[in-house]
Amino acid sequence: MSDGDGALEATASEHCAPALLVRELRKSYGRRTALHGVDMTVGRGELVGLLGPNGAGKSTLVKTVCGLVRATTGTVRVFGDRAGTRASRKHLGYLAELFRYPAWCTGEELLQLHQRLAGADDDAVERRRLLELVGLGDAARVRVEAMSKGMQQRLGLAQALVGDPRLLLLDEPTSALDPAGRRLVREVLSSLQARGVSVLLNSHLLSEVELVCDRVVILSRGRVVAEGAPAGLSRARGVEVETDRGTRVVDGGRDDVPRIVAELVAAGEQIYSVQPVRSTLEEVYLEAVEGHAS
């Protein structure tokens, strides 16, 4: 194979590579192992929730993707480029859980600073667009020290979007936001996904994850203990029936509804509603984590 053929093959590989590929990732800090051979993938345009209790290894995983932590063994690639390289970093936008911006900066000055740090253009149009996107269009000249925690968190999301990253790493992006702020972030994520941006979302707000994520990966003690679409991970929990004698859950699934209704009517009950019940993401999460706690 000629050098030209090799270059073409490498280019084709990059074009079909997933946004994030993690294989057999292990990270040890001395005698303590934070990640035990983790495998996961984030597809192009996919929104994946990264879940797990404190100490599960989520932050170590995200920092390894960013290149802030070096893997002990294993492979981490961002659009085909090895994590930590300049080529991989150009694809990334990152919002850390614990961030602190210069108090004296205005919203626009902070975005301008991050444009310079990212090697992007000094683009005033981009700064205005990002501030508008996160609901801070009127805060361009407001100093960080005068912003609420929620405003700072939305500003953090704006800085993560500087330079139009293809893979967004978000660590607890809605923890300080009120319901309106969380809805705004959901709308932003939906618009980004529509443009083909991939997102890895680390959050303890499982109801939010369930609303926006295509797939979830649950970590416990440095290992993947469950993975899949939120709906696919749930299972039948019975059938909730509301009758003139009250509301209760009876054993059975969707296919059992006709039989359950017929039996209740035969017993003289008036049926008001019937609804199959499935486990929530919170229940799936707790079962997965507690099942691997020992």
Residue 224 and residue 81 share a domain:
yes
Pair 40, 186 in one domain: yes
C-alpha torsion 247→251→254→259, nearest 10: -90
In a domain, 266, yes or no: yes
Q: The tokens 């039948």 sit on which residue?
A: 236
pLDDT reported for residue 10: 47
pLDDT reported for residue 158: 94
Categorize the per-residue pLDDT at 166 as very low, low, confident or very high, splitting at 50, 70 and 90. very high
pLDDT at 176 over 80: no
Give yes or no: residues 26 and 85 share one domain: yes
* Contact by Cβ (8 Å): 21, 169: no
Same domain, 260 and 115: no
- List the single range of 122-131, 140-149, 280-289 with lowest mean pLDDT: 280-289
pLDDT higher for 238 or 79?
79
186 inside domain: yes
Overall number of domains in the chain: 3
Q: Answer yes or no: is pLDDT of 278 > 90.
A: no
Domain boundary among 229, 252, 267: 229
Q: The domain containing residue 70 runs over which residues?
A: 1-91+166-229
Percent of the chain predicted with pLDDT > 70: 94
> How many other β-carbons are positioned within 10 Å of the β-carbon of residue 9?
11
Q: What's the predicted TM-score (pTM) here?
A: 0.83
Same domain for 172 and 65: yes
pLDDT digits (tens, 9 = 90+) for 54-70: 889 998 999 999 999 99
Q: Which of these, 152, 107, 160, lies nearest to 131 by C-alpha position?
A: 107
pLDDT at 291 over 50: yes
pLDDT at res. 43:
95
Rounded to the nearest 10°, the torsion over CA 70, 71, 75, 77 is -30
What is the per-residue pLDDT across 1-37, written as a single tens digit (0 to 9) for each? 444 544 434 444 556 789 999 999 999 998 899 999 9
Q: What is the pLDDT of residue 2?
A: 47
Determine, yes or no, domain membership for 294: no
pLDDT at 136: 93
Same domain, residue pair 212 and 180: yes
Q: Is 81 helix (H, G, I), strand (E, B) or coil?
A: strand
Instruction: Verify that 11 and 86 share a domain, yes or no.
Output: yes
Cα 162 to chain center, whole Å? 18
What is the pLDDT at residue 132?
Answer: 94
pLDDT of 292 reads 67
Instruction: For residue 208, give every residue at least 6 positions away whose Cβ sits within 8 Å of its Cβ, in sequence order, or none.
Output: 174, 182, 186
113 vs 8, which has greater pLDDT?
A: 113
Q: Are residues 79 and 3 in the same domain?
A: yes
Q: Which of 209, 229, 249 is the last residue of a domain?
A: 229
The CA-atom distances, in angstroms, between 204 and each of 22, 184, 188, 209, 282 are: 22, 18, 19, 8, 10
Question: Is 284 among the domain residues?
Answer: no
226: left (phi over 0), alpha (psi -120 to 50) or beta: beta
268 belongs to a structural domain: yes
User: In DSSP terms, which residues pair with 171 in a beta bridge?
Assistant: 202
Q: Decide: helix, strand or coil at residue 53.
A: coil
Last residue of a domain, one of 116, 143, 163: 163
Per-residue pLDDT, 81: 95
Same domain flag for 269 and 136? no
Q: Verify that 178 and 79 share a domain, yes or no.
A: yes
pLDDT at position 217 is 95
Is residue 290 a part of any domain in this protein? no
Residue 293 domain flag: no
Domain with residue 211: its CATH number is 3.40.50.300
Long-range contacts from 160-164, C-beta under 8 angstroms, 24+ separation: 160/93, 160/94, 160/95, 161/93, 161/130, 161/133, 161/192, 162/93, 162/111, 162/114, 162/115, 162/118, 162/120, 162/126, 162/130, 163/90, 163/93, 163/115, 163/118, 163/119, 163/120
Q: How buried is 30 (Cβ within 10 angstroms: 0-12 exposed, 13-18 middle, 19+ buried)?
A: exposed
Distance CA 94, CA 267 (A): 59
Check whether residue 119 and residue 250 sit in a common domain.
no
Task: Tell me: do 16 and 122 sit in the same domain.
Answer: no
**Residues whose CB is less than 8 angstroms from the CB of residue 250 and which lie 6 or more positions away in sequence, other chains included:** 238, 239, 241, 260
Using an 8 Å Cβ cutoff, are 170 and 99 in contact? no
Assigned domain for 285 exists: no
Cβ pair 92, 167 in contact under 8 A: yes
